[in-house]
Structure 1
Amino acid sequence: MALGPRLDLRQSQSLTMTPQLQQAIKLLALSNLEIEAFIGDALDNNPLLEAGEISLERQAEPDTREEAPEDPSADQLILRGQGEADAPLDIDVTALDRDRDTGDWSATATLGGGEEGPGIDERGDDEPTLAEHLEAQIGAVSSDHALLFVARHLIGLIDEAGYLSTPLLEVADSLGVPLARVEEALAVVQTLDPTGVGARSLSECLALQAKEADRYDPCMARLIDNLELVARGEFARLKRMCDVDDEDFADMLIELRGYDPKPGMRHGGGERAPVVPDILISGDGDKGWEIALNQATLPRLIVNRPYYVELRSGCVDRGARRWLSERLSEANSLIKALDQRQKTILKVAAEIVKQQEGFFRRGVSHLRPLTMRMVAEAIEMHESTVSRVTSNKYLNCGRGTFELKYFFTSGVASSDGEGAVSAEAVKAQIRALCEAESADDILSDDKLVELLKEKGFDLARRTVAKYREAIGIGSSVQRRRQKKLARVA
């Protein structure tokens, strides 16, 4: 066979991410607040875009009502902002996914808000951080600039709770100053507000607050020096050590409980993202649920066509005309992507409300097991699309504000064998049982298993322990100590 160059014609197929698809994927995963920032950049970069009162033609259309054809008795879901002509965005690009979620996920609810939800401008004030708060005070404490330099260095080492974890000898070595100088600077820092900041241990933090309140007598000093006995509930031993009667000891415990173990947390530790709902749910379920996007956070964009016509009439250069056409295409693509994003969010939210109607009617104990695959199959979309829609999105209803992923929970087998129940419902029952117990009748994990089985939850003891720890409830021994301490105080 002779070797030589030749030409071959072959056909092949490949999956390519167009700029429009990349933009749609990016927008779908952003929250409304992040969309607002994205729109701000787009307005700066594209002269044909401008903020307007009406961003989508569908806003002038009457509201549509969507009923489940397979269940005529199902509650109506009234969707605000979705027309019939345009279909939601479904990005089925399995080969390109890098962040897929199976949906077996549970998040902690952020309670608050009413049926209408907070507005876009209801954000937390920019509070100074703990370091900034301390820096503002340090200049008025001493006129010794060398001492203030060491004190400012110590402020930079204090964590967000207000504690100094770096050994003073290490600080002295790094600054090249005597240890006594560092101790003197620390004493200056510990005089700053809030009281207790700069402490190297919990005992020192509480002692500083007791001194500030003029309650640091020998009895209180012994109590603070033996906090491990307080945690174990050994009150009889502590009363002997402090040489006080029951009444004085109770007063000391009340005083101790009034101190702040983390004084630095009173001040901002940095930027905190505001939680603003993207979706608003209203109605009581009897007349249907009304599902709407939060109009206060919706981006509003229009293309300034008169300005485009004016610019095009003045363009004599072919390159300028091409640049102007590209800007117009980008503007139209962005508005279309925003429109599709909102339709997709509404469709996913409607299915979540339909699947978790028990939660919206009766509370967390009626949450059903739900995965993203179930929602994706119900609305005939790809699972990755549902994953992006539920990322960084919050839903506000009469029960509070919840992240969309809160409604996706794994299932637990029920004792009657008729189906599975949500893990969140089980956690709610465990929390209710533990909160109702008294100090003299603390429920063990085995007892919790029995009580849950009576309520229809078939769980193993290790599963109950796992859920109990996940919601921050201690063991029976820890709860007994805590309740005894609360009863004495």
Structure 2
Amino acid sequence: MAMSPRLEVRQSQSLTLTPQLMQSIRLLQLSHLELNTFVEMELQRNPLLEREDGVEPGETDNTELPERPAELSAYEDTVDHGDRIQSADSIASGYDTEVDNVFPDQSAQDRQPDLGQWSERGGAPGEDAPDIDQFVAARPSLSDHLGAQVGLIISDPRERLIAQFLIDSLNEAGYLANELEQIATQLGAPLETVEAVLLRVQGTDPVGVFARDVKECLALQLREKDRLDPMMQRLLDNLDLIAAHDLGALTRAIGCDREDLMEMLGELKELDPKPGRAFETAPIESVVPDVFVRRGQGGDWQIELNSDVLPRVLVNRVYYASVTKKTRDPAEKTFLTDCLATANWLAKSLDQRAQTILKVAAEIVKQQDGFLLHGITHLKPMTLKAVADAIEMHESTVSRVTSNKYMATPRGLFEMKYFFTTALGSSTGGDDHSAETVRHRIRQIIDAELPSDILSDDTIAEMLQKERGIEVARRTVAKYREGMNIPSSVIRRRQKRALATAGR
């Protein structure tokens, strides 16, 4: 068969992600803080966008309000009336006597408010008072706090430079992040000089900063309290035994009885292993729910979006029409057309995002009705695919919608991702159990342990099998236990025996 070139026409369908479609998908997974930041940037770039403030667009732009007769406010009337009345001093001077002789119940002078002072402070009468947060002094950072002390205890300029470099080498906990040899090499200074400066700055406040490990940090604080005796030093040398709660090995290593050991451990608990954390200046951001779930009067669940965190924008078509009529430059017309298209897209995308969140939240509430009524023991296993199939959406869309979104329920505030858990099979043939429910039950079993009867992971797995028919392996119990930061049975036995002994 001879081969020859030829032209063919084929028709096919394909999905192309336009930049606006990709941006719409990205809007779904943004939190309300990120979304408000994005909308604020668009408002600055696009002259056709404006925030919705409860008034319909175009309602106040071209509507002229009828003139109202001038009215005198109560404040203006009081001020004008006070200007027309003479002060107590002027009246008393006319009688050539003291104010107390004329007005016994009045102070020596009439004190009219200084309106100029009010205006300068931004708090003129009739206006809102300034926010008190504007006058709160900023908290000093750890670097500023230590730098002020170094200026008092070190006078040599070279040593001050080394001390400042040591301050800059501290991490958030107050520990030195670099080795002294590295610091000496970078500064070109003798190692002995760097060590001498380190010893001097280790006495600054808060005590424990400039330490190179936990042992040195605790030793600095104990030395400040004059409690770093040889026995306490041996205790610090065996921090690994303290972490393992091996009190028997600790008493043998230190050479003390159990009573003295418990007293020293109590002193260690009063120390701060991370002294630099007291100067953290990062703002604390509270979690704000995106969806509210409430119990209705008829027993059904009412789902409502948090309108306070949802940005609303309007497209100012009146402004677009007026500007388009006056412009003749093709580039300006193209710019206005693009702004109008972007504004329409953003308004539609925000509305679609809100409807999608509401739809997904409604399905979550529908499937987790038992949890909302009875608690975590009735939390059902649920997957993204199950919710996506129920609301006829793609699984990736549900995943984006539930990212960084929070739901306020009668049971508390939960991230939407919390309700999606894997399923553990039931040996009795009943419904599967949620992994979160199994974790909760494991914690309950461990909390109810007696010091004389500590349960192993195998025993806990058998108890779950007998109680609720939950088929779970020992390694699964160990994984869930470690995920909840619960120590092993050996360490728990030492901990609870130590607590029982201390409580006697």
Q: What is the match of residue 481 of structure 1?
A: 494
**Which stretch of the first structure deviates more once superposed, 145-154 or 324-333?**
145-154
Q: Give the direction of change, closer, same or farther, for the CA distance of 1:219–1:353 in structure 2 (3 Å limit).
A: same
Q: Which residue identity lines up with residue 358 of structure 2 in the other structure?
A: L
Q: What is the match of residue 201 of structure 2?
A: 189
Distance of 2:209 and 2:55 partners within structure 1: 51
**Which stretch of the first structure deviates more once superposed, 235-244 or 417-426?**
235-244
Q: Give the direction of change, closer, same or farther, for the CA distance of 1:135–1:437 in structure 2 (3 Å limit).
A: farther
> CA offsets per residue over residues 39-61 of structure 1, 9 Å max, x none?
0100010001111224999xxxx
Q: What is the match of residue 25 of structure 2?
A: 25
> CA offsets per residue over residues 235-265 of structure 1, 9 Å max, x none?
4564566565554443222111111222233
Distance of 2:145 and 2:495 partners within structure 1: 34
**Which stretch of the first structure deviates more once superposed, 198-207 or 478-487?**
478-487
Distance of 2:391 and 2:456 partners within structure 1: 44
Q: Give the direction of change, closer, same or farther, for the CA distance of 1:381–1:315 in structure 2 (3 Å limit).
A: same
Residue 171 of structure 1: which of 183, 191, 198 is its match?
183
Q: Give the direction of change, closer, same or farther, for the CA distance of 1:267–1:367 in structure 2 (3 Å limit).
A: farther
**Which stretch of the first structure deviates more once superposed, 454-463 or 278-287?**
278-287
In the TM superposition, what are the counterparts of 1:134-283 in structure 2 within 5 Å? 134-135=146-147, 137-235=149-247, 238-239=250-251, 246-268=258-280, 274-283=286-295
**Which stretch of the first structure deviates more once superposed, 142-151 or 441-450?**
142-151
Cα deviation, residue 270, structure 1: 5.6
Distance of 1:445 and 1:380 partners within structure 2: 41
Larger Rg: 2
Normalised to the residue count of structure 2, the TM-score between the two structures is 0.76
Whether contact under 8 Å (1:56, 1:339) holds in the other structure is: no
Cα deviation, residue 449, structure 1: 1.5
In the TM superposition, what are the counterparts of 1:328-339 in structure 2 within 5 Å? 328-339=340-351
1:11 aligns with 2:8: no
Distance of 1:465 and 1:284 partners within structure 2: 41
In the TM superposition, what are the counterparts of 1:90-489 in structure 2 within 5 Å? 130-131=142-143, 133-135=145-147, 137-235=149-247, 238-239=250-251, 246-268=258-280, 274-283=286-295, 287-456=299-468, 457-488=470-501
Per chain length, whose mean CA-contact separation is higher, i.e. which structure has more relative contact order (CA < 8 Å, sep 6+)? 1
Whether contact under 8 Å (2:407, 2:414) holds in the other structure is: yes
Distance of 2:304 and 2:56 partners within structure 1: 15
Q: What is the match of residue 82 of structure 1?
A: none
Q: Which residue identity lines up with residue 29 of structure 2 in the other structure?
A: A
**Which stretch of the first structure deviates more once superposed, 282-291 or 336-345?**
282-291
Structure in which a larger fraction of residues adopt helix: 2
Q: Secondary structure at the match of 2:382?
A: coil
> CA offsets per residue over residues 47-105 of structure 1, 9 Å max, x none?
01111224999xxxxxxxxxxxxxxxxxxxxxxxxxxxxxxxxxxxxxxxxxxxxxxxx
Cα deviation, residue 297, structure 1: 0.9
Q: Which residue identity lines up with residue 31 of structure 1 in the other structure?
A: S
Give the alignment's Cα RMSD to 1 decimal. 2.9
Whether contact under 8 Å (1:29, 1:391) holds in the other structure is: yes
Distance of 1:328 and 1:277 partners within structure 2: 32
**Which stretch of the first structure deviates more once superposed, 386-395 or 11-20?**
11-20
Distance of 1:427 and 1:56 partners within structure 2: 51
Cα deviation, residue 483, structure 1: 2.6
Distance of 2:396 and 2:252 partners within structure 1: 64
Cα deviation, residue 399, structure 1: 2.8
Q: What is the match of residue 53 of structure 1?
A: 53
Cα deviation, residue 349, structure 1: 0.7
Q: What is the match of residue 39 of structure 1?
A: 39
Distance of 1:294 and 1:250 partners within structure 2: 51
Q: What is the match of residue 126 of structure 2?
A: none
Cα deviation, residue 458, structure 1: 2.1
Cα deviation, residue 352, structure 1: 0.7
Whether contact under 8 Å (2:381, 2:422) holds in the other structure is: yes
Q: Which residue identity lines up with residue 169 of structure 2 in the other structure?
A: L
Q: What is the match of residue 75 of structure 1?
A: none
Whether contact under 8 Å (1:233, 1:481) holds in the other structure is: yes
Q: Which residue identity lines up with residue 422 of structure 2 in the other structure?
A: S
Q: What is the match of residue 115 of structure 1?
A: none
Distance of 2:421 and 2:205 partners within structure 1: 44
Normalised to the residue count of structure 1, the TM-score between the two structures is 0.78
Q: Which residue identity lines up with residue 464 of structure 2 in the other structure?
A: L
Q: Secondary structure at the match of 2:203?
A: coil
Cα deviation, residue 345, structure 1: 0.3
Q: What is the match of residue 78 of structure 1?
A: none
Unaligned runs of 5+ in 2: 58-132
Whether contact under 8 Å (1:233, 1:484) holds in the other structure is: no
Cα deviation, residue 274, structure 1: 5.0
Q: Give the direction of change, closer, same or farther, for the CA distance of 1:12–1:451 in structure 2 (3 Å limit).
A: closer
Q: Give the direction of change, closer, same or farther, for the CA distance of 1:322–1:470 in structure 2 (3 Å limit).
A: same
Q: Secondary structure at the match of 2:210?
A: coil
Whether contact under 8 Å (1:284, 1:361) holds in the other structure is: no
**Which stretch of the first structure deviates more once superposed, 192-201 or 383-392?**
192-201
Q: Secondary structure at the match of 1:418?
A: coil
Distance of 1:128 and 1:35 partners within structure 2: 31
Q: Give the direction of change, closer, same or farther, for the CA distance of 1:433–1:166 in structure 2 (3 Å limit).
A: same
Cα deviation, residue 269, structure 1: 7.8
Distance of 1:55 and 1:455 partners within structure 2: 60
Q: Which residue identity lines up with residue 11 of structure 1 in the other structure?
A: Q
Distance of 1:483 and 1:328 partners within structure 2: 68
**Which stretch of the first structure deviates more once superposed, 32-41 or 479-488?**
479-488
Unaligned runs of 5+ in 1: 58-120
Q: Secondary structure at the match of 2:403?
A: coil
Q: Give the length in aligned residue pairs.
A: 422
